[in-house]
Structure 1
Amino acid sequence: MRDTIFALSSGNPPAGVAIVRISGSGVRFGLETLVGQIPPARMATFCDIKDKNQLRLDRGLVLFFPAPHSFTGEDVAELHIHGSRASVAAVLMALTDLDGFRLAEPGEFTRQAFENGKLDLTEVEGLSDLIRAETESQRRQALLQADGVLRSLYEGWARRLTHARAMIEAELDFSDEDDIPGSVSDQIWKDMGLLLAEIRSHLECASAAEVVRDGYRIALIGPPNAGKSSLLNYLSKRDVAIVSDIPGTTRDVVEVRLDIAGYLVVLQDTAGLRESSDQIEIEGIRRSLIAAEDADLVLELHEFGVPGRVVPSGVNERIEIVTKVDCLDEPFTADDAAFGISTLTGAGIDKLLEAISERLENLAPSGEMGLPTRARHVDLLQDCVTAIEVAMKSAEAPIEVRSEYLRHAANSMGRITGMVDVEDLLGVVFSEFCVGK
């Protein structure tokens, strides 16, 4: 029999309230031992909490969620106690003393929920992202995934693949039955073409989903003393990087994580680009160029009158920025390709942030739709696309071969959610064609 697991599910103490979660077949025994009763299902009950020797440890709210209507699909209980270290330690120790009870491993409650069919893999990943969300866009994307948007989408596609295979199998295995129309498999290729277009369109959103989840990378690039570190400190509202009049102060890439327009932005300060004989500075410059190549956006900084365009042409989008405009004798004017800013007065920075925000807001498609948020989603979807393409192009191949490619596509789709079930195929065949009546 599987152990009953428990763990502190709220934040680390001290806190106003601590929540200890318990899941498994021994939950009812644990409640009877520590609380003296099994509270009514899903109703908060105020109780004394005691150890197995009836020594009172604390008092608080107790909730009981009987299987299968719980997060894990098993009996679950929650003890809402005072959030002191001593109270939490005492309750955890009392649970440890019960036979068959042990501390849960990281993610084990969610693992039980997956194994009991309460969550699929995409919902598990969404829940993980939701817990770690730092920005509004991350929260929205993770919540959609945790609510099963991707699950519904991928399972719908998998059902279409299963239906296509079922039509082929029906023609192959039951062609002598009156209920099976001839050449029924020819009817499914039009839908496979539509499905292929839908998956390709979905994959086009992968880069946007990656940016939302992992952050939009902006590299500050330019010659020494161009104001890169000053801009980093200004935007992060703290002294992250050392600012000095001495050229070459920054030797390595310095990163800060910012929330701009509800999106996670990873802002990188880099070593100034110039000719140098200093081996450490040369290495810093090499890392600066790598950061520029990997960035989603490069902010190329230089002072007025100092030549810009020091970054190789192979980088992604860039914005040219003239810095220290407060030192100019006349107001700064520039064409659409340049911004003038001052970290001393704040001039021009709001305009720069607006330009960055516009780029961020144009990343994701509008509407409440799920996006492929993980590399494994993309890889498996691409496998699925390839298999469907081969099946559709192999018009001269035996129908069994084309069906095998569709089976591979369906398996790839099922591996995304973690719920591949070969019995689905038989269910479609017998439900639609009344075979063998």
Structure 2
Amino acid sequence: MRRDPPGLGGSEPRRYRVMLRAPVPAAPTPPPPAGPHPQRDASRPSPCPSRTPRFPVPSTPVGAAGSARSSAAGPRRGRSPSCAAAAAASGMVRGSAAAAGPVHGAAGAAGAAAAAAAAAGRRDKGDRGGAERGAAAAPGPHSFTGEDCAELHVHGGPAVVSGVLRALGRLPGLRPAEPGEFTRRAFAHGKLDLTAAEGLRDLIGAETEAQRRQALRQMEGDLGRLYQRWSHALTQALAHLEAYIDFSEDDNVEEEVLTQVRDTVRALLQELRGHLRDGRRGELLREGVRAVIAGPPNVGKSSLLNLLCRRPAAIVSPTAGTTRDVLEVALDIGGYPLVLSDTAGLRQATDPVEREGVTRARDRLCQADLVLAVLDATSVSPTPVALGAALAALEPPPGTPCVLVLNKADLLGVHRGSPSTTGAQGQGPPATLLSCKTGEGLEALLELLTQQLAQLCGDPLLGSPSLTQSRHSRHLGACAAALECFGDLGDSGDLAVAAEQLRVARRELGRITGHVGAEDILDIIFRDFCVGK
């Protein structure tokens, strides 16, 4: 069971979702529908094996809510009994299963009636404490999973939800869905490929607008269609190459075929290399850009963290060396995800605890995607040379983008220099004045951070879809290596070996979308889904 977050104003009711599946005896496997997605072999075990009915256990604690929803899905066998039970349990058909299809015998009808009473919360016929209930049915193959599905909409109080769970647990053949089982069944029925399933998982976990846009684009199939186009090109090239191997001696295949195959592979390899050289934009947007606040002791690093997250997350003290460990918070900056770390002041420490804090700070600095270098505005000149020397003393990782934050601007008075043009003139990283005490300069800093995050993550709606998963990079790297081996064979190479390299490349692409060798990665893909999705 999953709880939706309340509205921004705090007045929206919380909703609880209880996702359940009702398996029925196996029916003859229908013919696979037309489309690019593969169908699971009927002789192979189901991705969601049936289990002994048990009491449905929610994945999150039950609490007060405005409404609750329970979903059931199962293979089509005439008219799905799960739909009948769902409709009866909701009270929509007033305790009768006839409107939704037959329930197995009197026991099934009794179970449905019991579920109806529990869902309604009735003590007797005159009690309408569960009024305004409803059920929605989605017959296969037009549902999310491709099977017959039904949803119960009931009041979301703890007692009502518990009563529904108890009643549904008594229905024969009903069991709780595994994490990600609904989406895995949709994959098994060809409703979506693995990249779309990963996009759905990312959409559920999206916390910023940019993450939502990227996940939605992947869920709608942009990334999968790109890989399908490459796979189709490889399939054609492999077919032409094998035809040349088999029939070239009979003069049935033109000599230009081999040249066309090499041109196709060369163009595909170039496009694939460009796709891999995206600067990890998709992964950074999905996982969050890791930014580290670094600087000497007592320059306001912890105050900057508290200012950005708008709460006293870090202890602030005028005593130098207060911060000893790494403190991490997740922020939404301009719609981009930022994982911000406050670290110990960088200096030659004598205290063993502070020395360990400095070591951890430097380790985190080496892992940073973005560095916020905080300096004391009263002790450094705003000239490019002075700022560059102060930044070099912090030893940031080479090539890592930096933003210079000159804190304590409120102590400068009216005679202050502006360092904000240093980055624009190409003489150093962008810099800005800030007062963590008064908040002056915060808007300018947020604008700088948004620009840096936009450069690191890009616009997820523009250009080719980005890589979002490390496994995509791994399989694409193996695909590129196979295509490079194909090119290294040259005109005088063994064509049978060259054909095998194309098969390897095509197989690696298929593993990304799930069309080839997906079984060994299915559990990894779906185990991170919440229960009932």
After TM superposition, the score normalised by the length of structure 1 is 0.88
- Is 2:419 the partner of 1:343? no
Select the residue among 56, 81, 90 that pairs with 1:29: 81
Select the residue among 207, 210, 228 that pairs with 1:134: 207
Cross-structure match for 1:384: 479
Mapped to 2, the partners of 1:10 and 1:379 lie a distance apart of 34
Query: Structure 1 residues 99 and 50 mapped into 2: Cα distance closer, same or farther (>3 Å)?
Result: closer
Q: Secondary structure at the match of 1:56?
A: helix
For residues 71-129 of structure 1, give each alpha carbon's deviation from its aligned partner in whole angstroms, at most 9, with x where no partner exists: 11221111111111222222222222122211111111111111222121111111110
Select the residue among 281, 290, 293 that pairs with 2:366: 293
* Residue-pair matches, total: 414
Pairwise CA distance, 1:204: 1.6
Pairwise CA distance, 1:10: 11
Cross-structure match for 1:362: 455
Q: Secondary structure at the match of 2:509?
A: helix
Cross-structure match for 1:401: 497
1:248-397 equivalent positions in 2, closer than 5 A: 248-306=321-379, 308-309=390-391, 310-315=393-398, 316-335=400-419, 336=422, 337=428, 338-363=431-456, 364=458, 367=462, 369-395=464-490, 396-397=492-493
Select the residue among 274, 285, 288 that pairs with 1:201: 274
Moved more, 312-321 or 397-406: 312-321
- Is 2:50 the partner of 1:3? yes
Pairwise CA distance, 1:369: 3.6
Pairwise CA distance, 1:305: 4.3
What runs of 5+ residues in structure 2 fail to find an aligned partner? 1-25, 27-48, 89-95, 102-108, 121-130, 381-389, 423-427, 518-533
1:77-92 equivalent positions in 2, closer than 5 A: 77-92=150-165
Does the 8 Å contact 1:171/1:183 carry over to 2?
no
Select the residue among 257, 260, 281 that pairs with 1:184: 257
Does the 8 Å contact 1:19/1:81 carry over to 2?
yes
Mapped to 2, the partners of 1:73 and 1:11 lie a distance apart of 30
Letter in 2 for 1:330: V
Pairwise CA distance, 1:8: 7.0
Pairwise CA distance, 1:165: 0.4
Q: Secondary structure at the match of 2:347?
A: coil
- Is 2:507 the partner of 1:411? yes
Letter in 2 for 1:367: L
Pairwise CA distance, 1:31: 3.2
For residues 389-421 of structure 1, give each alpha carbon's deviation from its aligned partner in whole angstroms, at most 9, with x where no partner exists: 110121121111111111110000000011128
Mapped to 1, the partners of 2:405 and 2:98 lie a distance apart of 66
Letter in 2 for 1:341: L
For residues 245-285 of structure 1, give each alpha carbon's deviation from its aligned partner in whole angstroms, at most 9, with x where no partner exists: 11111111111111111100111111111222211111110
Pairwise CA distance, 1:13: 4.0
Mapped to 2, the partners of 1:65 and 1:176 lie a distance apart of 57
Query: Structure 1 residues 185 and 96 mapped into 2: Cα distance closer, same or farther (>3 Å)?
Result: farther
Mapped to 2, the partners of 1:134 and 1:13 lie a distance apart of 23
Cross-structure match for 1:435: none
Does the 8 Å contact 2:84/2:99 carry over to 1?
no
Mapped to 2, the partners of 1:134 and 1:355 lie a distance apart of 21
After TM superposition, the score normalised by the length of structure 2 is 0.73
Cross-structure match for 1:425: none
Mapped to 1, the partners of 2:182 and 2:495 lie a distance apart of 45
Pairwise CA distance, 1:137: 0.6
Does the 8 Å contact 1:3/1:101 carry over to 2?
no
Mapped to 1, the partners of 2:225 and 2:57 lie a distance apart of 31
Mapped to 2, the partners of 1:10 and 1:66 lie a distance apart of 29
Does the 8 Å contact 2:84/2:100 carry over to 1?
no
Pairwise CA distance, 1:52: 3.6
Query: Structure 1 residues 403 and 386 mapped into 2: Cα distance closer, same or farther (>3 Å)?
Result: same
Mapped to 2, the partners of 1:115 and 1:86 lie a distance apart of 36
1:55-134 equivalent positions in 2, closer than 5 A: 56-57=117-118, 58=120, 60-134=133-207
Letter in 1 for 2:505: A
Q: Aligned-residue CA RMSD in angstroms?
A: 2.6
For residues 299-319 of structure 1, give each alpha carbon's deviation from its aligned partner in whole angstroms, at most 9, with x where no partner exists: 111213436333115342222
Moved more, 281-290 or 329-338: 329-338
Pairwise CA distance, 1:323: 1.1
Cross-structure match for 1:428: none
Mapped to 2, the partners of 1:31 and 1:161 lie a distance apart of 44
Q: Secondary structure at the match of 1:15?
A: coil
Letter in 2 for 1:344: K
Cross-structure match for 1:434: none
Q: Secondary structure at the match of 1:370?
A: coil
Mapped to 1, the partners of 2:344 and 2:276 lie a distance apart of 36
For residues 148-181 of structure 1, give each alpha carbon's deviation from its aligned partner in whole angstroms, at most 9, with x where no partner exists: 1111110110010011000011222344677643
Query: Structure 1 residues 109 and 206 mapped into 2: Cα distance closer, same or farther (>3 Å)?
Result: farther
Greater strand fraction, Structure 1 or Structure 2: 1
Pairwise CA distance, 1:377: 0.3
